[in-house]
Structure 1
């Protein structure tokens, strides 16, 4: 989840066939089943390239056990829009794999059904992940992995984790003065900003996007972007920017932030699990810790992203889809395979316990995400990303926070009201 971008869709179809099956129930307290024995049918699953490859052998087995044909189609980019459009046209899948913050939009468009997880199955999953896939009181996805930002540091340059953002900047300035690093911090901003990567600092300084209702759900009517506490937070972000300390720069982008770190040009990188592969390839000695907040302020709260399986409301075989996502996705074997395809902390406790011993980074990312807040899944969040990000970029460049955020809030309010 480096940054939200649109792209071109490609598809690769893997046809899988076999034999056998089981009976079913619509009672959420009991596992759903596919179809009467020998009924046959077809299940279509959409996921990104890596997930599709990992799913193939399990889809094959599911087909063999249930006497159905399974097709796994790899959708490279723009998955959410492609899914909504295809569903509305009657050409969508039965199962969709994607991010949890799609849920509000998918529900609003009538494209997904609640999933029928038993109480015991839910108890075997990380509670914060179950919370993230719960919308309007119903569980809409079967979560399988989480991701959040952390501070990755070059331990040869920075042996100790900084306690605060001020400590980080002070140490980074010493490294730059000694010509050991040319950048203070690799945190991607870019010319258009990056709300996702800015959020830990924004939250630490007291800013907020949406308030919450009494039941804990986000309240679309309480937009916090232009409120005094959010403006004050952006004052702190401006002080880190190009007219201040220079820790935040628009020249650090989604394309070069990790590469700048792996080249040894900065000691500190704010990124997620996706960065670790490149860091290891570069043979950088590294450690992982929570993103530090500002001195005397709240702890930094990154966003928690949760990858999930959804049952398509307009799928042609919803009983099979419920069977697959509730009784196959919740098995440790499949959860571990998805972890191996792209390492993220597994949501299934039994799978996490299997892999954590061989991957110490997992526990460190989990710890860094202990205070993480689920990405808002309400549909209105889609209107926030671009205006908020552009306001961040402007403020990092030296613009007045109140002016930038007031303009962003006006744009967002116009879109959601």
Structure 2
């Protein structure tokens, strides 16, 4: 699956390396230490290790580390401790798991919520506890995303989802209420493409999720306690077949195309070749720089069917199970959402839609698009499944959808994908 996501959410879950066995494999990418002296922390064998001179060590990718550094160091000074924020540029999740097991990992790591199932399976993170006041200030999708088997394992701070970008210079239908209305308006625009939505030859189940859910498709059923049931796979079930039929119709009409990928979807829109784009907040910079007169709205569903519900991806702070300073780690991650001091400082350096209600209100006047994405994620999206079995969904479902767009029989193609997924999960 081709994804060109300029956002904070790591898509490690999509790759086969999400499995516990692969995640336990050794990582050798050395973190660049994001402390004042910016020295590198390297062991003699070139493996990743924590900064030995800091009391509290935090690992993150480059953008998040750079946005967090100053606020974290300031927090540490108030506690009377030193804090190092280290950059792990590649394979952060698996690198963290390996280092944690070896006892030379960080105290805190920042990552996507869909890591949780894998992290818990590997006993890599500890549960966290937030005050009722802090929890009530976080939107429900944020709390749900970091909850696994009834326990909170992360502190959420930012969220992303997909939305519909509309070029107001190409169409007057700026908030279509159905896919059918969108298609009619897009065809009337007379542009090269009606809708720029990444499909690709290999599929893109992430970007196709709103259409899949609108047609009635689901990925996993739920147990009585609300947790996901990996034995109840929705791919191949009745709802997914209805979705497949609708997706096939859009392929026949040329609305969906395998030639539109994560590499060219945004540029098709910014070059005025499509009036509509399905993308996330990572597309904003390119759209603004292109001078497009645009608006952002909810992705519509099929007429008479379900609401389109894209994935919500939440980024969170995790406490390492074998960190050197567990007490300060727990204090730090809870202080992240105690108020907006740390999260606002991070936002100012790396703009991401917030999960805190008071920060969302604070940003409303100056950053309306970010607030729109935060609201859409809160009200119209579902957390990406964080159970390890989700890694078996991406490839078969995405490929099936691409094949259906390309003309394959919807029912048999989707049924075969479901059989492949179930076989893989059964092992």
**Same fold judged by TM-score > 0.5?**
yes
Query: Mean alpha-carbon deviation: is it higher for 40-49 or for 371-380?
Result: 40-49
**Partner residue in 2 for 1:91:** 104
**Partner residue in 2 for 1:102:** 115
Alignment partner of 1:228 out of 238, 256, 267: 238
Alignment partner of 2:213 out of 203, 206, 221: 203
The RMSD of aligned alpha carbons is 2.0
Q: Give the C-alpha shift of residue 155 in structure 1.
A: 0.6
| Residue 247 of structure 2 is aligned to residue 237 of structure 1 | yes
Q: Give the C-alpha shift of residue 159 in structure 1.
A: 2.5
Distance 1:263 1:198 in 2: 22
Distance 2:206 2:30 in 1: 26
Q: What do residues 255-308 of structure 1 show as CA deviations (whole Å, max 9, x unaligned)? A: 111111101110100001111111000000000110010011111011111111
| Residue 184 of structure 2 is aligned to residue 174 of structure 1 | no
| Contact kept? 1:122, 1:130, Cα under 8 Å | yes
Query: Mean alpha-carbon deviation: is it higher for 204-213 or for 400-409?
Result: 400-409
Q: Give the C-alpha shift of residue 358 in structure 1.
A: 0.5
**Partner residue in 1 for 2:223:** 213
Distance 1:399 1:334 in 2: 50
| Contact kept? 1:48, 1:75, Cα under 8 Å | yes
Q: 1:107 to 1:50 in 2, by over 3 A?
A: same
| Contact kept? 2:35, 2:69, Cα under 8 Å | no
Distance 2:396 2:104 in 1: 33
Distance 1:77 1:406 in 2: 35
Give runs of ≥4 in structure 1 deviating > 6 Å. 5-8
| Residue 176 of structure 2 is aligned to residue 162 of structure 1 | yes
**Partner residue in 2 for 1:27:** none
Alignment partner of 1:301 out of 297, 304, 309: 309
Q: Which runs of 5+ in 2 are unaligned?
A: 6-10, 18-27, 38-52
The alignment of Structure 1 onto Structure 2 pairs a total of residues equal to 389
TM-score, normalised to structure 1's length?
A: 0.89
- 1:394 aligns to what SS in structure 2? helix
Mapping 1:1-400, distance limit 5 Å: 4=11, 9=29, 11-15=31-35, 42-160=55-173, 161-176=175-190, 181-241=191-251, 244-369=252-377, 370-400=379-409
Q: Give the C-alpha shift of residue 10 in structure 1.
A: 5.8
Q: 1:2 to 1:112 in 2, by over 3 A?
A: farther
Distance 2:94 2:421 in 1: 20
TM-score, normalised to structure 2's length?
A: 0.87
Query: Mean alpha-carbon deviation: is it higher for 270-279 or for 357-366?
Result: 357-366
Q: 1:148 to 1:402 in 2, by over 3 A?
A: same
Q: Give the C-alpha shift of residue 340 in structure 1.
A: 2.5
**Partner residue in 1 for 2:42:** none
- 1:287 aligns to what SS in structure 2? strand
Q: Which runs of 5+ in 1 are unaligned?
A: 18-39
Distance 2:421 2:401 in 1: 14
Alignment partner of 2:411 out of 355, 380, 402: 402
Q: Give the C-alpha shift of residue 116 in structure 1.
A: 2.1
